[in-house]
Structure formats: C-alpha cells, structure tokens
Structure 1
Amino acid sequence: MAGHGGWSTGAAVRYDRVDALRGVAMVWMTLFHFSFDLSHFGYWAQDFRGDAFWTVQRTLIVSLFLFCAGLGQAVAWHRGVGWLRFGRRWGQIAGCALLVTAGSYLMFPRSFIYFGVLHGMAVMLLVARATAGWGRWLWLAGLLAVLSPWAAGWALSGPLSTWAAAFDGRALNWLGWVTRKPFTEDYVPVFPWLGVMWWGMACGQGLLARRPAWFAGPVGGAGRPLAALGRYSLGYYMLHQPVMIGALQLIGWLRT
C-alpha cells in the first residue's frame, strides 16, 4: 500500500498538512506490513485475509492514501500543474508498480501482485487528472464509484451472470466489478477506490476555494517528521518492505 501524488504540492511551497496526513498513513502502513511480515515468517500467527481486525485496517489505510492523493491532485489543478510534470511523476509510479509485480512474483509466485495499490493509483491518477474540472460533481461521481462494485456484483450474480467469468478473470478484474476477489497479495481495483480519490480531490478543491489557510497552516511537534516522511512516500514505500523482510530473514538466519 502507498499514497502518492505528493508532486502536486509544488516546488515553491509545500503544504505540510497534506504531507503530514500522508505521513500518518505511511506509519500506519509500516506497522501493518511489519505485522504481516511477522506472521509470514512464523513469529506471530495472524489471519490477514479473514480477521476483520486486519482487513478493516487495510481498507482504512488504503482509503487514507487515496484520499491524500486526491488532495494532492486538487492542489495540482489549483496551481495549473501541466501534463508534462504530471507525466514524469506518473511514470515513476507506473515504473515502481512494475517493480512491485516483479518482486512479489519472486516471493509469492502463486499470489503475486499484478494490480496492487501502485497499479491502481497509476490508472486512477489519469482518470482524476482528466476529471479535475468536474467540480462538485466529483462528490456524486465518488459515491457512484464506491457503490458500483455492489451493483456490479448483484448484476453479475443474476441477470448478467454469463459475463461473470470474464469480469472475474485477470483481464478485467482490475476494474473491481467482480463476484469474487482474486487470490493476490494486494488488490486495489479502480472501483470502488477511484471514488475515494475523487472525494479527496473534491474536498481539496472545496478547501482551496473556501478555506485555503487549512493547506498553508503550520504543523508542529510530531507533525514535522510526519510531513517529512510524507514528502518521500514513493521511495519509502518501495524500500520499507525489502528492509523489514531482510531484517527478519537475517534474524531467522542468526537463530539457526
């Protein structure tokens, strides 16, 4: 899991409150992933697929990341950031998504990540960028996006059941309109998650229009290191799991 879109805060002025909020998500994600790693290596048995304690946390963490990405896109739209600058950052995210797929295939060949949070974000950012001018309609679009998997699940289990196999297959399940979730270590389809990003963008545009001081306000105390962490979310995301996994493997080797 990761939350990116931080380029949109601009080179001249950083909005530390957005970065700090993203930093909170990074810390939460790290604790979640470390718990997962402990379970994977047999140090702490947990059911990350079935236990609501973990599944709800994952939903909240991904939601916070994508909401922050939407806030960042609102700032980009407000400042008139061009497609060229957007494209450079987008290319970094898409490239990292491919690295995640390759790395996860080596570790989990049966359940590798083919459409996780970075893959989903790469697609969703393109859509968010193209729809940034929708204004208040983003709230309604977000609601429809969030509800669409339930509607699709009902239709594919009933009147459109002949299409279920196609939408459940890897070629289309990245949309999120499925009757069963795929077996993969991370799955962040376009729907319902695009709705959360749209809500973040709608919220950001509303704040910039009515309460711009919220973005420019200072952060103090613990907010400063969180803001620093939030500025480098993509690099941190790519490094934190290899470091933690490597440390746990080293501990296991030393104990043998």
Structure 2
Amino acid sequence: MTDIPAAARPRFAVVDIARGVAIIAMIAYHLCWDLSYFRFIGADVGYDPQWVVIARSILAVFLLLVGVGLVLGHGRGIRWRSFWRRWAFVVAGALAISIATWFAFPDSFVYFGVLHAIALFSLLALPFLLAPLWLPVVVAVVVIGLHFVYADALFNEKLFSWLGFWQVPPPANDLVPVFPWFGVVLLGVIATRLVLASSLAARLAAINPGGRLARVLAFMGRWSLLIYLLHQPILLGLVYPAAAILQPQIAMRQADFLGSCQSTCEAGGTTAPLCTTYCQCGLKTVEDNDLWDAVYSGMLSAQEQTILDASNRQCSAVIYPELTAPVD
C-alpha cells in the first residue's frame, strides 16, 4: 500500500495542542513523583488514591491521543514507512527506559510502561483503522469491561502482568497492561473515525489558534515523544543533586516521627504541649543513638530496646516530674 501525500492529510492543530497539554501534565506528575521519592514532599505520589486518579487520567488522555493520531496518520491507508520509523523510535525509547530503570530501581524497573504499551497498542490497533466501525466498538467494550469483572493470581507475576487481570499489582514504577488500556486507544480510534465522517471535522481543522501559548503547546505536542524520553532524565538530573545536598529525607523522617508520636501521645490523654516536649525528647534519643532503622522496621535488638525504654522513662519524667520525686 502506497503512502498518502501529506497534503491530503490535514493536520489538526487542536490535537497537537491537546498533546502539548498532556505532556505538560505528565512532566508535572513525574516532577511530583520525583519530589515524593526523594522526600521533598510528604505525599506518596505512587500510591495515594488521589495521585493514582491523576496518573490514570493523564495516561488515559495520552492513550486516547495515540488512537487519534493513528487514524489521522493512517486512516486512509497505512503509511508503512512513516509507521515503522516512528514505531522503531518508540521501541528504542522503551528499551532505554527499561535498561535505565533496571540499574536505578532493580526491584521495580519498568518492563511494560507507557512506551512499551504504545508500541504494542499501535500494532494491535492497525486492523481497526479501516475495519467496520462496529468491530473496534465491540473490542473496546470487551477489553475495558473484562478488566472490571475478571482477576486471577496468575497475573500477579511479572511474566503475565503486562496483560492485566492481576489481584495484587507487581512492583513496577510504571505498568500499563493491555487490559484495559488498549481499549482506551480504541476509543480514540472510534471517536476520530466518527469525527472525520461528520461535519465536525472541517470545523476542527479550521481551528488554528495563533497565540504564543497555543504555538508552544502545539510545538510540544508535535515533539511529545522526544519530550517524554528526555524529561525524566532532566528532572532527575536536577532533583537528585538537590536531594544529596539538602537531604530532605532527614527533615521528613523527623516530621513523620514527631507527627506519629504526637498523635499517639495525645490519644493517651496527655495535653498537646506536654506531648510536644515528650516527643522532642524521644526524637533526640533516636538521633543520638542512630535508631532510625530500628524504629522504622520494628526489629529492635535487646540493647536498642533497653535504650528506648530508658528514653521513655527519662522523657516521661521531663513532662511529669512527680514520677521521679522521692516518696516521703
């Protein structure tokens, strides 16, 4: 099948702008993830429910736009040379991310992340660009729907987890399984085919904002793949040295310790000011004796337990001096 001339394929500026907005959202999310990982912020960006919703929303937009781009680029016939060139670039990027994260995070490296998924989903979606419209509709419903009604412990293993259906997600910094996310790509295919078959296509194609912001967003959208590959190394190149110099994890663990101690102390009926004094006393003991690992793990040696018991008596005496007063 021959390539279709570029002039016959109108470019939708609104799609480029949408990609630009999506890549900015992805950069912002990954910046927050990095800040969380290095303990600049207290939120657990990888697991807190609100952050999970944000991450999945950004991912959904990205994959929806993959489907949109496939139809706009190949909906009249597959431009194989252009397709394979872009596909090879995506695969190379996916492999680079897997290798880099293997060294940086060996226990949770990225083995099937966003770029891996885009590479596979782009191939899987090709037959649906020209198939009867009812077919991608049915497949999208099945792929998305099965995710909500079926799960099996087999898919907890990394070997099968890329398909989805796990009961407990395996450790990975980025995992985008076929079910349900391929269905989102098909939604993009379906929506774009419907738009192109309607009068809405001409109106969307006519939208071409001329402001500086729109031009910047459109530029970022056209180069979104390259930006995706480069943004995280750049962010880590900034955040990692800052963390090494400022050591935010020290301040964060102190805040965590004091917050937990304060809550427990006040729950026991002691006033807030006295609890603050007590917890500051306890923190000094932990730091002076380097007991952080023992406190966080809960695995204390006999000597460490003796130190903490003595600290508890000493700190209690600070806020309740009568406990150590001689009895007449």
1:93-132 residue CA offsets vs partner (Å, 9 max, x unmatched): 0111000001111211110000111111111110111222
- Which one of 118, 122, 128 corresponds to residue 119 of structure 2? 122
208-217 or 61-70, which moves further after superposition? 208-217
Residues 28 and 10 of structure 1, relative CA distance in 2, 3 Å threshold: farther
Question: Over alpha carbons, which structure has the higher Rg?
Answer: 2
Per the normalisation by structure 1, the TM-score is 0.86
Instruction: Please give the root-mean-square deviation of Cα atoms over the aligned residues, in Å.
Output: 2.1
Cα shift at 1:68: 0.6
Unaligned runs of 5+ in 2: 248-328
Q: Distance in 2 between matches of 1:119 and 1:35?
A: 23
Unaligned runs of 5+ in 1: 1-7, 157-163
Q: Secondary structure at the match of 1:134?
A: coil
Does 1:99 pair with 2:86?
no
Q: Secondary structure at the match of 2:159?
A: coil
Per the normalisation by structure 2, the TM-score is 0.68
- Which one of 30, 34, 37 corresponds to residue 34 of structure 2? 37
- In the alignment, which residue of structure 1 is the partner of 2:230? 239
Q: Distance in 1 between matches of 2:39 and 2:47?
A: 17
Residue identity in the other structure for 2:217: L
Q: Which runs of 4+ in 1 moved over 6 A?
A: none
**How many residues are aligned here?**
239
CA contact (8 A) 2:144 2:179 kept: yes
Cα shift at 1:253: 4.4
Residue identity in the other structure for 1:144: V
CA contact (8 A) 1:10 1:76 kept: no
Cα shift at 1:209: 1.2
Cα shift at 1:232: 0.5
1:162-200 residue CA offsets vs partner (Å, 9 max, x unmatched): xx32x3322221111222211100010111001110000
Higher relative contact order, chain-length normalized (CA < 8 Å, sep 6+): 1
- Which one of 189, 197, 201 corresponds to residue 212 of structure 1? 201
Cα shift at 1:236: 0.4
Cα shift at 1:85: 1.9
Residues 50 and 254 of structure 1, relative CA distance in 2, 3 Å threshold: closer
Q: Secondary structure at the match of 1:212?
A: helix
- In the alignment, which residue of structure 1 is the partner of 2:14? 17
Does 1:67 pair with 2:64?
yes
Q: Secondary structure at the match of 2:158?
A: coil
Residue identity in the other structure for 2:201: P
